[in-house]
Chains A and B, each alone.
Chain A
Amino acid sequence: EDQVTQSPEALRLQEGESSSLNCSYTVSGLRGLFWYRQDPGKGPEFLFTLYSAGEEKEKERLKATLTKKESFLHITAPKPEDSATYLCAVQAAGGYQKVTFGTGTKLQVIP
């Protein structure tokens, strides 16, 4: 069964203090790994899709990287508006498009 574990569960940063969120996964053949941002009471907002080990993608202050066992979401010089829960999810190769999510990392950026 596909599994996704995210750490830490919660992270509190000062504005400008860079850090990384971790996503460890177990899947029988990775079709894609996804990062989403979710604000309280709202639907997840798509950030990145990574397909193969070594791949990296960037968007503003966020950079996602992928290895064969884990993915990192690096946040450089975060701002208070980056405060949200960040969700990692995987999709296995073959079959239908079931996506398995982790429980998320709740990020709080303090001014």
Chain B
Amino acid sequence: ETGVTQSPTHLIKTRGQQVTLRCSSQSGHNTVSWYQQALGQGPQFIFQYYREEENGRGNFPPRFSGLQFPNYSSELNVNALELDDSALYLCASSLELRAREMTDTQYFGPGTRLTVL
């Protein structure tokens, strides 16, 4: 069973640039959630994708956007980067079975460390 993978591992950008982060979900999972984790803080929910549609969003501006593909992998795009966007970006995958209202645990990838200069 393949776990959640993310790329790239590290990224350095300058203010105003755009960035795309990628995530491959764990085998058998259909839901991907993205989180931002600042140093010394807990992960903050950005948004979630279920079957290629945005399924919920946290308190993040529209310049944070995403995609989910038919194979359930996902991208996080951030436009007009700001210094405060520097953080560890985490992707988590899970299996949601809506007909059974079943909660499955979210499993996290290793993260992408983004530094904005």
Residues of A within 8 A of B (CB): 4, 31-32, 34, 36, 41-46, 49, 51, 87, 89, 91, 95-104
Contacts and interface: CB of A to CB of B under 8 A. Distances in A.
20 contacts: A31-B103, A34-B105, A41-B88, A41-B111, A43-B109, A44-B108, A45-B108, A46-B108, A51-B103, A89-B42, A91-B103, A96-B48, A97-B33, A97-B94, A97-B103, A98-B48, A99-B92, A99-B106, A101-B42, A103-B42
Nearest to A44: B108
Chain B interface main SS type? strand
A96 B40 contact: no
B50 interface: yes
B13 interface: no
Contact of B50 (A34, A44, A96, A101): A96
Contacts, number: 67
Contacts of A41: 88, 111, 113
Contacts of B108: 36, 43-46
Interface of B: 4, 6, 31, 33, 35, 40-45, 48, 50, 55-56, 58, 88, 90, 92, 94, 96, 103, 105-111, 113
B46 to A, nearest CB: 10
A95 B90 contact: no
Contacts of A96: 48, 50, 55-56
B106 A97 contact: yes
Contacts of A31: 103
B109 A104 contact: no
A98 B40 CA distance: 21
B117 to A, nearest CB: 19
A103 B103 contact: no
Contact of A100 (B45, B105, B110): B45
A103 B105 contact: no
Nearest to B106: A99
Contacts of B88: 41
Nearest to A47: B105
A4 B41 CA distance: 12
